[in-house]
Copies of this chain bind each other. A is one copy, B any other.
Amino acid sequence: MDSTQLTSLLESVARGSVPVDLAAHSIGTATADLGFARLDLHRDLRCGFPEAVLASGKSVEDCVAIAAAFVARDVRMLITRVSDAQAAALRCAVPDGVWHERARIFARDKAPLCAAGLVVICAAGTSDLGVADEAAVTAAACGARVELCYDVGVAGLHRIEPVLPLLREANAVVAVAGMEGALPSVLGGLIDRPLIAVPTSVGYGTSFGGIAALLAMLNSCAAGVTVTNIDNGFGAGCAAARINRLVAGRGTHGS
């Protein structure tokens, strides 16, 4: 139920054509109450992507129960940071779900989306690939066409040059890097596309689990770079999808 529908419903209440209790019930059922969790079934309509469930910190049983609730209501589902044990159980319980191992995402679409609009994900090092994949799977689940570039580190600038044409075609670019996190600064000076930086916890000592990369990205001298939480590939994928949807399909507020 999105904003327009809600307004319309309230106007019906004012007109008397919809009784108060019915309207209340209709809005109330936007959440599915599992006894220990309330799923936000209208998130997709309201925000443009399904409520993602963070599996880490949940029991295997809770994960399966939540997945079953989504399946029962036939809405799109994205479960992130899934452990091996959780994945095994989910694959049994939801045979038509898809398991993205490197991204640690278990997903199920009610119907395949038609991919539209390009999102490019760049990973600075091989160890950043898990986070990059989380971003890629998320953006694809939100309807984007996704390309992934790996090992695009700043200590070897000649590895960046070949991917520039691709970056300059993208509706949104996601730059994933750990250690000193310099990739977004270098890319930000070379392209004019929306650029989302994702610091990763790759590194040791004073990388402080990704803080060094995070600070570098927040202080980027390349203007217009925005940043997500450390290792938050999911968030970056959603942010890219928010942009891509506008450019690819609904770009109608331009004048």
Contacts and interface: CB of A to CB of B under 8 A. Distances in A.
Interface of A: 3, 11, 13-14, 16, 20, 27-28, 30-31, 36-38, 40, 43, 46-49, 52, 54, 56-58, 62, 116-118, 124-127, 129, 150-151, 153-159, 162, 164-165, 168-171, 179-182, 185-186, 188-196, 199, 201-232, 234-236, 238-239, 241-243, 245-249, 251, 253-255
Given A182-B154, A189-B155, A229-B218, A194 B251 contact: no
Contacts of A11: 20
A236 B225 CA distance: 8
A97 to B, nearest CB: 20
B38 A151 contact: yes
Contacts of A208: 215
Nearest to A56: B204
B243 A243 contact: yes
Contact of A223 (B31, B49, B181, B254): B49
23 contacts: A3-B168, A11-B20, A27-B158, A38-B150, A38-B159, A40-B159, A43-B156, A49-B192, A125-B221, A155-B188, A180-B215, A182-B182, A182-B216, A206-B218, A215-B215, A216-B216, A218-B230, A223-B235, A226-B226, A227-B228, A246-B247, A246-B251, A248-B253
Contact of A253 (B158, B194, B247): B247
Contacts of A201: 205
A248 B61 CA distance: 39
Contact of A230 (B30, B31, B205, B242): B205
Contacts of A49: 192, 223-224
Contacts of A179: 219-221
Contacts of A164: 3
A230 B206 contact: yes
Nearest to A181: B216
Contacts of A236: 226
B249 A46 contact: no
Specify which of A30, A118, A223, A248 lies most central, judged by the most chain B CB atoms within 10 Å of its CB: A223
B229 A205 contact: yes
